[in-house]
Structure 1
């Protein structure tokens, strides 16, 4: 090798090494970027319901979508008191006075976002405590997304079907998910689907109620009708579950079961795109004209108390600590369980119920 060629090779190698070091520095800087820096560029709606996303920055401009309360977009620019944002499939302008960004967004974002831990190893052990010596309570596969309940040094507390546990921070990638804007087309499609589902559910409920009334009349003619005496308790006895409520309960059950397999989303209420446990119960009953709170704790005080699972009937609410489900009969429930399982059917005794409530 000549001296000239050797000099070129040496210079090239030096440049490659310096470039590699520069790339590594850039990557390290990106990885070190804090949530605070990321959240500063968000625009978060802070309204009672929603703010229109408009094609141009004025109130006469066409609405291209809606940014619901605490939904999030990415800041693009500011113009005459309007923020241009991109959120989901929607790009447009929102009135600045109805949103927060910058430092205010940094403060609000952790409260409205859902912290997610994505598994990065083939099989991740979930432990009962934040220690390698703690018992293993479950195993989670790679790329599984877990809802984060708490973060400690080196450990993340997560929800799995077996309960809450801890995973090592070394084997998950942490991120924050937000609800995004809904375009006009997406809203129209959602409303049309919800209307069709509601009409089908009401039709099924009416048919079941008619069938139950006919069966009741048939039994009454046979002299088999019974009445229940007062027990002196505040519980609703099993006999008070009338044929009319039986029809409604079964209709609620049938309607709820069609959503099995759909996703769990913390804070969500969409039976198709994602809901949490109380959002699932609330949205199912909404289709029958019954208003329930978006709170598993609040559900423990609705309707009338039923004396335990032994007297539960389809459509009853089964309330647990921090969770709520719909009873479907045969000792089973349907519920929005976790982000890993979505909406599933489980044994009603998979956890200890705190109460059973009847709302119809």
Structure 2
């Protein structure tokens, strides 16, 4: 099944957390590499203190491995929090998988032993033991809720640059509305607003001593005050055998429920419109514009319905497709018309449905960015509630770094 799942898992880490971010260019080839980690479970290293080391970014993204050739679109499930680095040196014990897809984590240091989980490419683990066996060197690792053995040839240890290249540094909002400012001062203009609980990608911490970090958001790049955010580092962890089985079953059940809900909702909506107007299958808004009822239970149906609202206003915190909505409110309200309940949060939407890769992206998929979210419309276009200036509109789907792609149906 060509699916992928990501979910933030909290990992504690004191002081010396290094940070960075992955840049995704606007060309499709770069976009593919930037989104390949979407098949993985993500974890978070949380800072208990800020030190001089925090200016560089810890990069550990997601894990693959075992020379078993499995489709790169395999999904991972979310796991419980684990420590993956020591407080004194966050890189001293971290290993990053470097394989084509994933490697089996074995119960013992033998290729004949039962596998207990899968470690995916670019994922992180801690090493607790080295075992010399007849067939080579094995490492005892812990990643997420999985502990077991992998061959040392499939992971790279203590490579700071590699770690930097595969992680995402986060600033999570802990106030009602976080202002993103043009410069690192409260006197500077506000260029964007982030709601409580959402996160944005940190791209520069050189101003941290002054109480600010530079982030990327929907409006571009700006600064947020450290008084209102917590910093952490995202990376992916292994998935246990039992977790994978449970995830696949759950995803299949949720997909079926979503399809059934969409079919029921569209029948109801069309019946309502038929009663309101005997000559048209469309309804009128307060502005006099008419909108067709939702129809179908496919991603294409979602795009067709949402596209009717292009040109309507952007309103921060809003969820009205006609009178004004923000980015996550747009996605939430469009899918709500199909009977699917989604959260009003760009960060939370990174965990709904199931994940797919950039190459698998289809119309109707939810595309998640730092501080923003939209619906893939096909042909490289994103349908989204963009800014106050543009309202609901279309943009190039690669206009900024894609963090996750989620599918509902």
Specify the TM-score bucket, using the shorter chain as the normaliser.
0.5 to 0.7
SS at match of 1:97: helix
Determine which of 64, 76, 96 is the counterpart of 2:116. Answer: 64
Give 1:284 deviation, angstroms.
9.6
- Corresponding residue for residue 394 of structure 2: 355
Structure 1 residue runs of 5 or longer lacking an equivalent are: 1-29, 227-237, 287-291, 306-316, 322-347
Give 1:91 deviation, angstroms.
1.0
Contact 2:273/2:293 (CA < 8 Å) preserved in 1? no
Cα distance between partner residues in 2 of 1:241 and 1:122: 34
Contact 1:123/1:142 (CA < 8 Å) preserved in 2? yes
- Corresponding residue for residue 236 of structure 2: 179
Asked if residue 270 in structure 1 is aligned to residue 309 in structure 2, the reply is no
Cα distance between partner residues in 2 of 1:214 and 1:181: 47
SS at match of 1:202: helix
Contact 1:113/1:178 (CA < 8 Å) preserved in 2? yes
Contact 2:140/2:149 (CA < 8 Å) preserved in 1? yes
**Larger RCO (CA under 8 A, 6+ residues apart):** 2
Give 1:258 deviation, angstroms.
2.1
Cα distance between partner residues in 2 of 1:164 and 1:256: 36
- Corresponding residue for residue 87 of structure 1: 143
Cα distance between partner residues in 1 of 2:216 and 2:114: 42
Scaled by the length of structure 1, the TM-score of the pair is 0.53
- Corresponding residue for residue 314 of structure 2: none
Contact 2:102/2:121 (CA < 8 Å) preserved in 1? yes
Deviations 1:167-193 (A, max 9, x none): 356886644231211222322232222
Cα distance between partner residues in 1 of 2:375 and 2:279: 38
Determine which of 70, 93, 118 is the counterpart of 1:41. Answer: 93
Cα distance between partner residues in 2 of 1:354 and 1:215: 28
Asked if residue 158 in structure 1 is aligned to residue 215 in structure 2, the reply is yes
CA separation of 1:181 and 1:117: change in aligned 2, threshold 3 A: same
SS at match of 2:205: strand
Structure 2 residue runs of 5 or longer lacking an equivalent are: 1-49, 59-88, 283-289, 306-333, 397-408
- Corresponding residue for residue 130 of structure 2: 78
Asked if residue 195 in structure 1 is aligned to residue 252 in structure 2, the reply is yes
Aligned residues: 268
CA separation of 1:355 and 1:142: change in aligned 2, threshold 3 A: closer
SS at match of 2:236: coil
Deviations 1:277-322 (A, max 9, x none): x99x969957xxxxx88889997771598xxxxxxxxxxx52477x
Scaled by the length of structure 2, the TM-score of the pair is 0.48
Cα distance between partner residues in 1 of 2:339 and 2:100: 29
Contact 1:282/1:294 (CA < 8 Å) preserved in 2? no
Cα RMSD (Å): 5.5
